Amino acid sequence: MALLDRPSELHPITVGLVNNMPDAAFLETENQFRGAAIGSHGDGIRFELYTIKEVPRSEKVATLIEERYRGLDELWTRPPDALIVTGTEPTQAQLRFEPSWPYLARLLEWASDHVPTTLLSCLTSHASVLLFDGIEREPRPAKCSGVFAGTVEDPSDPLAAGLPDRVPVPHSRLNEVPEAALIAAGYRIVVGGGCTGAGWSVAAREQGHGLFVLCQGHPEYGTLSLLREYRRDVRRCLFGRGAVPYPRLPDGYLGEEAVGILNEFERRAHAVDMDPRELWPAFPFDEVAATVENTWASASATLYANWLQLARVASHARAHDVMLRRAAA
């Protein structure tokens, strides 16, 4: 009987999360990935938290890290069955100049040799193809923000089992890696961009001794994640004195009522006599939030369940090999 046919016989697995997000989104990102990874399978998953402790943090987040997070030095000695590495908000035009680059590079090289499967989110997926394949990300003419219906390229792919032909995936990024460059480097596209213009969402390839799953999209996002990011970008525009352009509304995410509300706020923001200190408290976050529908959660849960099933199978095979080696010793 194939391993995939015997999920009840597989022992619990450990999923490690390396959280690299900025302070403002640090806890929310943990909760997003915890929910995406554990879902309804909490009894069979041990969730462990890691971060790059050398990154400067606010007092609040530093306290949280001290209470619940481990540093990467502890990860090297306890490789999990599956690893999630988040992205972070880019601060440099070139990835190699990001403050976290040396730590990410070492982490990715280690994971390829010691972790059965690693899921990389957004910036970290771009870092991986730069590190292993020399493929540079490319800046987009405008920020990609919204929910886009990607296409399942191969329904027989284990990562695509049970997914609909068209998979809604949130995206939020300034850069992209072209799909053709990934395919030329030997990656398989799991969820492609189709005709949306958003680019691929999920790709995968064997890397070293493990499977790397790259997410250029954000299937883990919560219902209001894109709205919070839009609010952040609006605030940066209002208080940036013209240095930051007013953001576009996220595509495929808001209903007609919400679009009207936010367009009216933008009209007020462009008024000649606008004072951002007076206008900003009126940003209609709660009013718009009440109208947002989550169209991607079901497909995202299926994608993560498929990935974790591959991790279970690999974990079971690894444990079986260890048992055989001990018996032969």
Euclidean distance between CA atoms 301 and 323, whole angstroms: 32
Instruction: Please indicate whether residue 126 is annotated as part of the active site.
Output: no
* Amino acid (one-letter) located at 123: L
Query: Identity (one letter) of the amino acid at 97?
Result: F
- The upper half-sphere exposure of residue 258, i.e. CA atoms within 13 Å in the direction of its Cβ, equals 19
DSSP class of residue 7 equals G
Residue tagged active-site, from 48, 98, 122, 153: 122
Q: Which residue in the list 220, 229, 237, 316 is annotated as catalytic?
A: 220
Question: CB–CB of 165/153 below 8 Å?
Answer: no
Q: How many Å apart are CA 120 and CA 18, to the nearest integer?
A: 10
Question: What order do you get walking across the sheet with 210-215 strand by strand?
Answer: 70-71, 45-51, 13-18, 82-85, 117-121, 210-215, 202-207, 188-192, 138-152, 166-176
Element (H, E) at 84: strand 82-85
DSSP at 251: B
User: Considering 218, 229, 237, 316, which one is annotated as catalytic?
Assistant: 218
Contact 177, 135 (CB under 8 A): yes
218 an active-site residue? yes
Q: Which two tokens stand for residue 202?
A: 């999920």
| Sequence letter at residue 177 | V
Residue 220 annotated to the active site: yes
| Cβ 190 vs Cβ 182: under 8 Å | no
Instruction: List, by residue number, the catalytic residues.
Output: 122, 218, 220
